[in-house]
Chain A
């Protein structure tokens, strides 16, 4: 057969595309369940990490069930909403200001409220979880994740030492919401608590700063009700 004829070229391209599409669709369907399970485990690891608990993949389930007492959804005005907090799409929740997930954990007898955060960094989305003490003001722990920040620079926000800085910081000052600022190492912020950003990861650090403000802002009414 003439390999250079138009007919052959068109048929070849058509067959190739159909074959490739079928192969990819099959792989995607076959692996979907396992991938979803991995994502859930990963999410639980992140939630546990903001409580300063590190867990391996095989023990996550047990530790999560032990520490997390309940989870519920709140609206921006502080009222409760229907639904499953764990599977709630946080991006959608923030754009509507409804159904924001809250997880309640008990660590050594003390209640911690865990809230979800979501924002944008330099290359893609950022997200994280922040655990607050039962005064709903002092930070107990925080954990940050990213989709594709630069390794060695912006990606450093997911290291434990960055998250640890938040412990003990307060998000309200004299009853008004102030958030926690990310500043260049050595600088300070007026009238609010602050932590050091990442050197060389300025835009990611600014993204984290904005993310904390805008995410916590959604929860202000919930956090004010003691």
Chain B
């Protein structure tokens, strides 16, 4: 069996662009607005979401043949909640600084529609390896948008990247001012809209009539 056959590659890579969960499927927008004021939390959130979606998908896929249909959503929720709690407990013990930054975001992962969506749409009806790739792919597709939005919001809103000043002082001396609007939530939505615009312009087949 080829682990990276054409179909598996498609599962892994298509969520990055043509089936991107944020800009094409319009999922997970709420958390994308909340955490992207700075680049660092965006990256941390992206990594955490990749891990949680991948493993939640694998677990659901492994037990998919035993789950009673009527309570499947509850089972999915429990699996996701356990993973999120475990991740936060382990971080608290072994990466305390990280866990302090993550505190709210870890909780937000559970409310992320992409997570439940992938377990329901993919994990329940596919094998563990495919589910793992699907989870990685969708997590990465989500994370990619998060990082792009975080990059522009921190750069234009605070003049820094990862907390390091990148806009040179002489520009401020010349009268350049950080755009305070960029760190407010509405600008995240507008930034995502701009990404969608560019993305649709380059992928004509995604355009609706």
Complex contacts, B184 vs chain A, CB 8 Å: 153, 200
Bound together, the chains give a CA A123 to CA B157 distance in angstroms of 22
Total B residues in contact with A, Cβ cutoff 8 Å: 33
Contact A3 B68 (CB under 8 A): yes
A53 within 8 Å of B by Cβ? no
Say which residue of A16, A42, A57, A199 sits within 8 Å of B180 (CB atoms).
A199
Nearest CB in chain A to that of B104: its residue: A148
B74 within 8 Å of A by Cβ? yes
Bound together, the chains give a CA A8 to CA B103 distance in angstroms of 37
Total A residues in contact with B, Cβ cutoff 8 Å: 30
Say which residue of A9, A20, A200 sits within 8 Å of B183 (CB atoms).
A200
Complex contacts, A151 vs chain B, CB 8 Å: 35, 37-38, 41
Bound together, the chains give a CA A31 to CA B154 distance in angstroms of 35
Complex contacts, A28 vs chain B, CB 8 Å: 89
Complex contacts, B37 vs chain A, CB 8 Å: 150-153
Complex contacts, B67 vs chain A, CB 8 Å: 3, 12
Contact A27 B38 (CB under 8 A): no
Instruction: Tell me whether chain B's interface is mostly helix, strand or loop, or mixed.
Output: helix
A147 within 8 Å of B by Cβ? yes
Bound together, the chains give a CA A153 to CA B185 distance in angstroms of 10
Nearest CB in chain A to that of B101: its residue: A151
Complex contacts, A96 vs chain B, CB 8 Å: none
Encode contact with A along B67-111: 1 for CB under 8 Å, 0 otherwise: 111110011001000100110011011101000100110000000
Bound together, the chains give a CA A3 to CA B96 distance in angstroms of 43
Complex contacts, A39 vs chain B, CB 8 Å: 96
Complex contacts, A20 vs chain B, CB 8 Å: 78, 82
Known: A3-B66, A148-B104, A153-B37. A31 touches B92 (CB 8 A): yes
Contact B180 A200 (CB under 8 A): yes
Complex contacts, A147 vs chain B, CB 8 Å: 103
Residues of B166-208 at the interface with A, using a CB-CB cut-off of 8 Å, are: 180, 183-184
Nearest CB in chain A to that of B82: its residue: A20
A34 within 8 Å of B by Cβ? yes
Q: Can you list 30 contacts pairing A with B, beta carbon distance less than 8 Å?
A: A4-B68, A4-B69, A8-B68, A9-B71, A12-B67, A16-B75, A16-B78, A17-B78, A23-B86, A24-B82, A24-B85, A24-B86, A27-B86, A28-B89, A34-B93, A38-B92, A39-B96, A42-B100, A57-B96, A123-B104, A148-B103, A150-B37, A151-B35, A151-B38, A152-B37, A152-B153, A152-B154, A152-B158, A153-B184, A200-B180
